[in-house]
Structure 1
Amino acid sequence: MQLTRVDDLDAEVDALAARHGGRAGLTAVLGGLDRRLRRTWAPCLTPHRAWTWEAVDRGDRRWWPQGVAAAPGGRYVAVSWYSTDHRSRISFADLRRRRYRHVELVLPSADGHAPLPVHAGGIAWSGSTLHVAATRAGLWVCDTRDVVRTEAGYLLPVRHRLAPSDDFRFSFLGSVGDGLVAGEYGGRTQTHRVAHIGTDAFAEVTEVVDLGVVRAQGVAIADGTYYLTASHGTRTPGSLWMGRAGALRERRYAVPMGPEDLAHDPTTDRLWTVTEHPHRRWIVTIRRRWL
């Protein structure tokens, strides 16, 4: 399988920036975070640190948190959300200041823009590049330097899409070394594959392995070990599966209920996840050595 660059929108991104007085970039977003995070505790059996959103975002039944990525050092975290009216956004958070802001993902055009209608089940953030999982459509790619400011808020346009040559569900996504790792959410009768992906213009999938974890929601790799989150509904804490391919073991109640995407920050050796259910929404980080 290969991922081929399609839907190039460089000219449309330039037009969007010109209509709104130029690019503001992620620096402007981080300098104007308008909502507050709160330190808290999340229900699971693993020692952890947790934050939660403002009340309006904790209980919102239109917007649902999905993907997570941490910048090196763990101060800045990005969380993707999808909405029931087919929109998507990224929340950029500064955990030191305990503040965050939503930035809507958009498809730019020559004379406007439209919402990006993806599930955004996983994201990978490296430098100014942000990859967004788009299920069977592959991956959308953004550059955070393209953020523009409008009267309604900030917008982040996509630049192009990486389209798969073969059938694969890009349900969740993460960074590993210089590449990416993507995985499939699946029930008992579906596949549960994980794909290792390069990040050049014609991204080659170097390995695909079926790890067999039913209802997996996120994947990370550290020192050759796989870590996967799995949900058990709205009231039961989730599981972390870990180990080498073919020898995974389950640690039940290791993460809160409703765990989604998973990320690993090699600079701090921490795992990060985000949970989705209304009034049970947390950003959670765990030291890998605690597992």
Structure 2
Amino acid sequence: MRAGVHLERRDLDPLTHDGEQVGVAGVLAHLDRRAERTRVPGRAVAWGFTWNEQDRSSRAWFPQGISTSADAGRDDELLVTTWYSKAEEGSRLSFVDLGSLTYRHVLVVRAGERGPEPLSIHAGGVVWHGPWLHLAATRRGLFTAHVDDLVEVSPGPATFGYRFLLPVRHAYAARAEASTEPLRYSFLSLDHEVGELVVGEYGVQSQTTRLARYALDPASHGLRLDESGRAYPLRLDDGRLGHMQGATVAHGRHHVTVSRGRKRLGRLYVGEPGRLRPVRWALPPGPEDIAYWPATDQLWSLSEHPGSRYVFAMDRTQLRRRLPLLLSPWA
């Protein structure tokens, strides 16, 4: 029996521009900002870094989603993170080289009547899978961009001051039957073992807090659609956990970040939907999305609050050894 929610794909108008398509390589050749390795609060953290002074203190832009070059099937050591603007400037990506701790911002855009327009979504999660970047858009569903479409332009008012733009190609609208609460696409991750998209809802009080899985096509790396252009979840579970900010699956277990305000340390929950167990004092305040890097057995996350913004790794093996709060055996 199908779940009462689904995604419906729509192709977006192509972007017309005066720039040159350069792909990821073009952005990596011009990383213009430097992050700083630093001590990150939280007992689960192995190591991490913070952004430059402007980005870590900005009250206009807030970091949200995270994915890795491992999600994309690449051999290099890159992160991609998302930010949303509280100043109505849209959403952007940061490509980060972990070797040099240098990075660059890229504005996410869509075609408008007069050229590129910023894509205004919360961008609470991102999955870089093959050539595609899947972006969480909360009640609107997902947007998808192709990294080959990264374009270098002349910075100016028409490009909102950015040298690199990434247009979105597809919108996946969130749909639901009349008797079902529409799913909010608050965050995203990739389950490497089965090649599925893991999505979930941030919820408080009476809001739903569900976790879902969607199939990804192994050839195209896009969502698997039926003949009508719709994607239905393979599973839809009640997470039974408020304030979820991110969820990923490693070795068959969900790892979920939960925020507890600006001052209190965040929590990491591990287990199965409906039976998630807390690791207290695990994360810095304001943890967001989470991703898994199989080759290093590390979980990666980031935090959002101005003045205490971190990007950090957690060693899953060390968590297994040191934190006995979980009631069932580890994989």
- TM category, shorter: over 0.9
Question: Is 1:281 matched up with 2:314?
Answer: no
The match for 1:186 among 203, 206, 209 is 203
- Judge conservation of contact 1:184–1:194 (CA < 8 Å) in 2: yes
- Counterpart secondary structure, 1:2: strand
2:40 paired residue number: 42
The match for 1:266 among 294, 297, 305 is 294
d(CA) in 2 for partners of 1:247 and 1:84?
Answer: 35
Question: Is 1:215 matched up with 2:243?
Answer: yes
Q: TM-score, normalised by structure 1?
A: 0.94
**Identity, % of aligned pairs?**
39
- Judge conservation of contact 1:12–1:110 (CA < 8 Å) in 2: no
- Summarize deviations over 1:193-234 as a string: whole Å, max 9, x none: 011012124322111101111101000011221111011111
Paired residues in the alignment total: 285
1:158 paired residue number: 168
1:200 paired residue number: 224
Query: Deviating runs (4+, > 6 A) in structure 1?
Result: none
1:62 paired residue number: 60
- Judge conservation of contact 2:42–2:284 (CA < 8 Å) in 1: yes
Q: Specify every segment of 5 or more residues in structure 2 that has no aligned partner in the other structure, as ranges.
A: 156-162, 177-181, 216-222, 320-331
Matches within 5 A, 1:240-251: 240-251=268-279
- Judge conservation of contact 2:45–2:312 (CA < 8 Å) in 1: no
* Deviation (angstroms), 1:46: 1.9
Greater shift, 111-120 or 56-65, is seen at: 111-120
Equivalent residue letter for 1:12: P
1:3 paired residue number: 7
* Deviation (angstroms), 1:247: 2.1
- Summarize deviations over 1:138-190 as a string: whole Å, max 9, x none: 00000111011112211000001111221111111111132211110001221
Q: Specify every segment of 5 or more residues in structure 1 that has no aligned partner in the other structure, as ranges.
A: none
Equivalent residue letter for 2:106: V
* Deviation (angstroms), 1:110: 6.4
Structure (1 or 2) with the larger CA radius of gyration: 2
Matches within 5 A, 1:89-238: 89-109=92-112, 111-152=114-155, 153-166=163-176, 167-177=182-192, 178-198=195-215, 199-201=223-225, 202-238=230-266
- Judge conservation of contact 1:64–1:83 (CA < 8 Å) in 2: yes
Distance 1:47 1:12, change over 3 A: closer
Equivalent residue letter for 2:117: A
* Deviation (angstroms), 1:128: 1.5
- Counterpart secondary structure, 2:14: helix
- Judge conservation of contact 1:74–1:268 (CA < 8 Å) in 2: no
Greater shift, 81-90 or 106-115, is seen at: 106-115
Greater shift, 62-71 or 239-248, is seen at: 239-248
- Judge conservation of contact 1:41–1:50 (CA < 8 Å) in 2: yes
Equivalent residue letter for 2:166: L
Q: TM-score, normalised by structure 2?
A: 0.83
- Summarize deviations over 1:18-62 as a string: whole Å, max 9, x none: x22x31111110111000011111111124110111000010000
Q: CA RMSD in A?
A: 1.4
Question: Is 1:75 matched up with 2:77?
Answer: yes
